[in-house]
Structure 1
């Protein structure tokens, strides 16, 4: 399979572009992580984890006045995963990350077809999830319009999840509602509308997303679908040294497990920024994500930021909404940050976040803890190095939420990482201006 993709790229390279642009670039991004409480509380007596992995991407783009074509191939390499001298990719991680064509229809209209990244505004609901080495993409068809400072995207997606006999394509889990009952990202169909208007110093957008999951009965046969509707807006204001951004989302429908109704779920966020000087930027914000009041089992008020770049929000240690904290007590997040420019190519980000549940736990507790995040960035000629450290000071509610006692958890919950980023540009046939 890898050989076929390489042959395709070589064939493209052999074509002499006429009145067209061809680009070939890549990315090499190794990252080492020390995990001593990342995503969940590490118990006392358990050793910290350490691992190194690498994202390797090769991107090819070809564009003319009437169309664009883009192909991105990637492999995710965990160091030591392959046995020595055995030519296999043991984790089957090689994939096509993006493969799309965009056709120009005239008068500002175009259509984009294929596997692509959906990333809007601050990536709160739709994002490329670039922190995760695998990233996030969608297979869909999109009708696009852009003129002056207005844009509109209309997307339609359909994912085949049934075989020729009407059973689940990816295997049946005998849970009443089967595959993908425990995977909110593996939707059957999705429709979305995105509108954005920009003015001087201000922009506003509107997002409507409806996605559905296939239900199965106890025998594994298809048994209808369930849908979840999300409506939201993102507002952004900037004047001189001051900036403000707000998110408002609401959700109603049926949870991805097929058996829980979602009613009145919401997300509210406000972030303020101030550039104190040419070298210091300050930030202050809060976010409220509704949680389940735990009164019933067939209804929830918990909001799910399904396709967002959630690592960007609610702390870099990923205790919330990154493969966890789904349909639980929600979140009240107050945070403050400072970004220091240390040199021409270096900076330091410091952020403090305090977490509470939007709803109380069964004990009545809702305090979850405080997190400190530090990220140092150093640029070099052609590459960059990032270093990060995070520390969680867990509160009583966090121990209850994670199902461990304070005595059973390690006294120090922390996480450290180092990442090297190289983005070589192999070829660009664009004519200089």
Structure 2
């Protein structure tokens, strides 16, 4: 990994020297481009068993959350700068006379282009790769997901190569130790290498390797004891005619924060067919290995890390967007899906998805009695309507029909009705301006 960093860094510096003369000649032709996005996105939710199944007698709840985001981008020859500030929260949580100043920068990055396809991007940025199973933007969440990182890259017509480097601390240090307290970024260090090759307009393949360093919580000793886990895998995408095929495989190894050896994997396959301009059908299967009741020996539960889990494992977010109950329990997941989408007009789209969930490891429902692996079924319905330019209204309704094993791994009562509904308005205009 160190050699690769040196090679890429050397190439970046070499290219910078090569283009200095070219930059002098181009000064008269430089353009300054400024763009700005404004997003107001309120979303009302009715919750009656989302994230976790509800128990008998528990009442439903409701709220309206909101994202107010201002994004600005500036570009000129060989330089791009992006800033995004947002205020997120729930209607009513702030006082009418508010002095807390929770309007924060969720993105703040600069990208230097050195010519010949080489660039460096540093600062707070979203990391969105492939189908977002490992690294995703998590746009469904009112806050989104961002990383503080340096990205070195190369790109041409058929290839993309990125090296992402990150080193995090919870505060400025004065003496000793590198204890990484909770409340900040979830990892101490991260090095990720991603490569994608575009074989044709219809087929592309990518490779990802991530080395993740996580420090156990130890506020008393405050000494470094970083454990490293590696994730290695590939993503394939094929688009012949009206069909779309996708395939993903990842393997994890290394150590957990409790110093157990890791050997875990996941795979996913999916296919979709655009029958005609109005109808589309899809099928898919995601398998993530689990660890069940095992508390010793090799840890076999796959961690999808910083992906957009809401996109894959059911809209009610029972899996990976929220935790399993029980100490260190992660029984894994097998999610088989069927979906259908109907577009009655250019501005309206309807979709319905069915999920059948199972665990992938053995657990006990009662002492001496193994649980069934079936968890239950989820139905997700969504409608999107483009009311006017830059304004979209979306609504959804989901229900979970849970079995007995769901009570063991997620809690709640299988005999209680579980459902969730939401209504969202996304107002997102863009301003674009170019000056000499």
TM over 0.5: yes
Q: Distance in 2 between matches of 1:404 and 1:35?
A: 14
The alignment partner of 1:123 has SS state of coil
Q: Distance in 2 between matches of 1:405 and 1:199?
A: 50
Cα distance, 1:218–1:115 mapped onto 2, change above 3 Å: closer
Q: Which residue, 348, 351, 354 being the options, matches 1:349?
A: 351
Q: What's the offset of the Cα at 1:217?
A: 4.6
Equivalent positions of 1:104-253 (< 5 A) are 104-161=113-170, 163-166=173-176, 179-180=181-182, 186-200=186-200, 201-215=202-216, 217=218, 219-253=220-254
- Counterpart of 2:398 in structure 1 is 390
Q: Distance in 2 between matches of 1:222 and 1:62?
A: 42
Q: TM-score, normalised by structure 1?
A: 0.87
- Counterpart of 2:70 in structure 1 is 58
- Counterpart of 1:6 in structure 2 is none
Moved over 3 A (4+): 165-170, 215-218, 295-299, 403-407
Q: Which moved more, 1:235-244 or 1:159-168?
A: 159-168
Q: Are residue 67 (structure 1) and residue 76 (structure 2) matched? A: no
Is the Cα–Cα contact under 8 Å of residues 53 and 411 in structure 2 kept in the other structure? no
Q: TM-score, normalised by structure 2?
A: 0.87
Q: Which residue, 4, 28, 47 being the options, matches 2:59?
A: 47
Q: Distance in 2 between matches of 1:46 and 1:355?
A: 24
Q: Which moved more, 1:52-61 or 1:262-271?
A: 262-271
Q: Distance in 2 between matches of 1:192 and 1:381?
A: 40
Q: Are residue 78 (structure 1) and residue 86 (structure 2) matched? A: no
- Counterpart of 1:38 in structure 2 is 50
Cα distance, 1:36–1:329 mapped onto 2, change above 3 Å: same
Cα distance, 1:389–1:130 mapped onto 2, change above 3 Å: same
Q: Distance in 1 between matches of 2:386 and 2:165?
A: 40
Is the Cα–Cα contact under 8 Å of residues 179 and 218 in structure 2 kept in the other structure? no
The alignment partner of 1:342 has SS state of strand
Q: Distance in 2 between matches of 1:204 and 1:282?
A: 23
Q: What's the offset of the Cα at 1:77?
A: 2.9
Structure 1: tracts of 5 or more residues without a match: 1-16, 171-178
Q: What's the offset of the Cα at 1:82?
A: 1.6
String of CA shifts for 1:35-70, please: whole Å, max 9, x gaps.
000011111111101000110111111101111001
Q: Distance in 1 between matches of 2:184 and 2:290?
A: 17
Is the Cα–Cα contact under 8 Å of residues 361 and 397 in structure 1 kept in the other structure? no
- Counterpart of 1:289 in structure 2 is 288
Q: What's the offset of the Cα at 1:288?
A: 0.5
Q: Distance in 2 between matches of 1:317 and 1:29?
A: 20
Q: Distance in 2 between matches of 1:342 and 1:96?
A: 39
Is the Cα–Cα contact under 8 Å of residues 260 and 298 in structure 1 kept in the other structure? no
Q: Which moved more, 1:160-169 or 1:61-70?
A: 160-169
Is the Cα–Cα contact under 8 Å of residues 119 and 127 in structure 1 kept in the other structure? yes
String of CA shifts for 1:348-406, please: whole Å, max 9, x gaps.
01000000001122132211000000010000222000000001000111012123454
Q: Distance in 2 between matches of 1:327 and 1:121?
A: 28
The alignment partner of 1:311 has SS state of helix
String of CA shifts for 1:218-246, please: whole Å, max 9, x gaps.
73321321111000100011101111101
Q: Distance in 2 between matches of 1:298 and 1:27?
A: 48
Q: Distance in 2 between matches of 1:216 and 1:295?
A: 22
Q: Distance in 2 between matches of 1:107 and 1:18?
A: 18
Q: Distance in 1 between matches of 2:53 and 2:403?
A: 11
- Counterpart of 1:424 in structure 2 is 429
Structure 2: tracts of 5 or more residues without a match: 1-28
Q: Distance in 2 between matches of 1:302 and 1:272?
A: 26
Q: Are residue 301 (structure 1) and residue 306 (structure 2) matched? A: no
Alignment size in residue pairs: 397
The alignment partner of 1:301 has SS state of coil
Q: Distance in 2 between matches of 1:403 and 1:300?
A: 23
The alignment partner of 2:399 has SS state of strand
Is the Cα–Cα contact under 8 Å of residues 293 and 329 in structure 2 kept in the other structure? no
The alignment partner of 2:262 has SS state of strand
Equivalent positions of 1:360-375 (< 5 A) are 360-363=362-365, 364=370, 365-375=372-382
